Structure formats: structure tokens, C-alpha cells
Amino acid sequence: MSQPTPDVYEQGKGMDAHNKVMREIRSRKERSYDPHEPTRVWLDEDNTPAGVKRSLTIILNTGGCRWARAGGCTMCGYVAESVEGGSVSHEALLDQIDVCLEHEAENADEPAPLIKIYTSGSFLDEREVGAKTRDAIAETFADRERMVVESLPDFVDREKLRDFTDRGLETDVAIGLETATDRVRHDCVNKYFDFADFEDACEEARAAGAGVKAYLLMKPPFLTESEAVADMISSIERCADVDGCHTISMNPTNVQRYTMVDELYFSDGYRPPWLWSVAHVLRETANVDAIVVSDPVGHGSDRGPHNCKECDDLVQKAIKDFDLRQDPTVFEQVSCECEATWEAVLEHERSYNQPLTR
């Protein structure tokens, strides 16, 4: 079984007691993964500053996020899908890229102009993806239009990004900020950095001619539905005001295995957000100076963002429509009796008695 161990980098960041508990939860993982196979790969469409583009999304299977291996975020179970041992070779990572290119060739008529590469950690952390591998990946996709790479703020470095920008690629860094509220990020998400570090990362990206895509977390544990909604609206507005942050992706929490959220969920202490909350936030922030999108993973399931189950697909479709068109009137076309229940939850749910519904 996996036995994540903190190193000097992680010590002193976050709540030590929390990290100890999280390491115990994550150690229950039993499955192992092939370092020559990506975690996931799929084709889709994404809204970018240059318009809607066809995209190839790649989740590389690395040794895992170093913060997650120390304990990490309350909601994130992706480290459980990482390769044992903490590292993956240059050759194996390039094999994963080849698998993704084969998937694209088999399922698309032509290469996607947008490439998105995630590691469920930090692509720019050279313990996960070395400089040699980063350069080889940049060269592989040099003929595409745009590249998105994932990173914690610590590893955003203009010289690393120039591997992409110097090849003529429009480049964005996807940063898992989760919230603009430091207390919520520290105490509910257990993420160690501050909003000021995110601002510094945006400045570093701009120095390389790159942009930033902020990832926010809708309803981390320990917040009521109304608190989560208010925090998201405030966070989106604050991110949109940061130079270089042109896109904001609101990710509603889903219950992943080997996480504290999973433990809370099975103790009746957590309910994923309502899809009505997602729609409400998108409506309320439609006029900010940024592209705001959301892709509710696992929508309609008990472990994912959901309403009453009867209207979930319709609301999800409206959210996807909004992502591409940025038109809040799409939500006027969906309604359901359960919206009254959601409104009652917003009004009456309190931290000491949440969740009020399942």
C-alpha cells in the first residue's frame, strides 16, 4: 500500500494534525498504476480568450502532487491514482504522451488546437515532470495553438514557461487556488499558500507572456451552502481583478475516495453542492472581466453536485451552454420544484447542523 511521506518542502505548511490524518486515509489505497499509461485523456471544447477551441485534455500519471503526498487537500483523491515510488521516468512520461496522441488520432478528424496537460499536481514541479521531459512535451505540441499546464503557485517560473511561449504557443497556467479567502483555503481545503502567492504567480506568468486560469472549489467541507455560494461569488470577483487571470473555472466538489470529504460524507457530515448553486454563481458573476466556466464532475450522482435528480441533466446542460456562450439567460430555460428546497437550504442551513438534505 502507498505510504506517502512528507519531506522538508511540506513540513510546517498546513495543519500538521490534519496532514497526519490524511496520510493515514491515503495509505489505504491498494491499486497500482502503469507508469506508461496516462491517468485519463479526452477530447472536448473549451472557451478561451481566442474563442471556443477543440481541446485534447491529458492527465499524466506522475509520482503525484508533493503536497498531497504529505497529506494535502481535504477533497482531492487524485494522488491515489499516482504511480508508486514518487517519480516516473522521462521515457515513461513520453510513452503516456504517445498514448494520448493515438487516442486523438483515432477519435478526431484533425489535431486539436488546444492542449491541456494536468498531473493532478504540478506540471511545473520538476520532481513530477523534469526539465528534459517538459521541453520534449513542448516540442511535441509546438504546432498547436494553445497550451494549458497545471501548477501550484510555488513552481510558476518564467523560464519554465518560456519552453512553451518561445515556441509560439499561447500558454496558460492552471492554478488550483480553490478560493480567494485565505482562511477558507487554509482551514477548509488545507492548502498552505495565500492569495498573495497566487497574485505573484500571475505576475511571473505575465513576465513570460503567459496567462493564468484560476481553478476555484465550490463548497469545500465545513461551509454551509449559502457560505459556499457567497465565497464563490467573492472569489470570482477577486480573481477577475488580478492582471493576467483571464479565465476562472469553478469546480463543484465531488466526493473522491481516500479523502477527508469522503470520511465526512459517509458520516452524514457533507453534501456536494446543489447545481442550483452553481447556476446562481454563474449568473451573479456573468459580468466580471474574465471568462467564467464550470464543469460539474459526477453531476446528478449522490457523490457529485446534484439537485433532486429529476432536473440534474437539464441544469448541467444549461451550465455547459453557459460555458461556451457566457450568456446567463440560458438559466431562464430551466426550472424545477426542488428549487424551493434549495432556497430553504440557503436560508436555514447552519454550520452546526449541515447538511440539511442529501
**Domain harbouring 345, CATH code:** 3.20.20.70
Pairing of strands 51-59, 40-48: antiparallel
Q: pTM score, two decimals?
A: 0.90
pLDDT of residue 65: 87
Tell me: the pLDDT tens digits for 224-273?
Answer: 999 999 999 999 999 999 999 999 999 999 999 889 999 999 999 999 99
Whether the CB-CB separation of 91 and 40 falls below 8 Å is answered with: no
Q: Is residue 2 part of a domain?
A: no
pLDDT in tens, 27-43: 665 566 789 999 999 99
Domain housing 246: 16-353
In a domain, 230, yes or no: yes
Q: Assign 65 to helix, strand or coil.
A: coil
pLDDT higher than 70, residue 9: no
> Is residue 304 included in any domain, yes or no?
yes
Give pLDDT, residue 120: 81
First-to-last C-alpha distance (Å) of the chain: 32
pLDDT, tens digit (0-9, with 9 covering 90-100), for 76-133: 987 777 776 668 999 999 999 999 999 999 999 999 999 999 998 899 999 999 999 9
Between CA 163 and CA 305, with CA 122 as vertex, the angle to 5 degrees is 130
Count: domains in the chain: 1
Distance of alpha carbon 292 from alpha carbon 192, whole angstroms: 25
Asked if the structure places residue 4 within a domain, the reply is no
**Does some domain include residue 358?**
no
Q: Write the pLDDT tens digit of every residue in 40-82.
A: 999 999 999 999 999 999 999 998 888 887 778 999 987 777 7
pLDDT tens figures, 325-355:
999 999 999 999 999 999 999 999 988 767 8
Kindly state whether residue 50 falls inside one of the protein's structural domains: yes
> Chain-centre distance of CA 276, in angstroms?
20
DSSP state of 307: S
Per-residue pLDDT at 79? 73
DSSP code for 169: -
Is residue 208 in a domain?
yes
d(CA 340, CA 247): 31
Contact (Cβ atoms closer than 8 angstroms) between residue 82 and residue 120: yes
Give the rounded distance of the alpha carbon of 161 from its chain centre. 20
pLDDT in tens, 276-315: 999 999 999 999 999 999 999 999 899 999 999 999 999 9
pLDDT digits (tens, 9 = 90+) for 205-226: 999 999 999 999 999 999 999 9
* In a domain? residue 259: yes
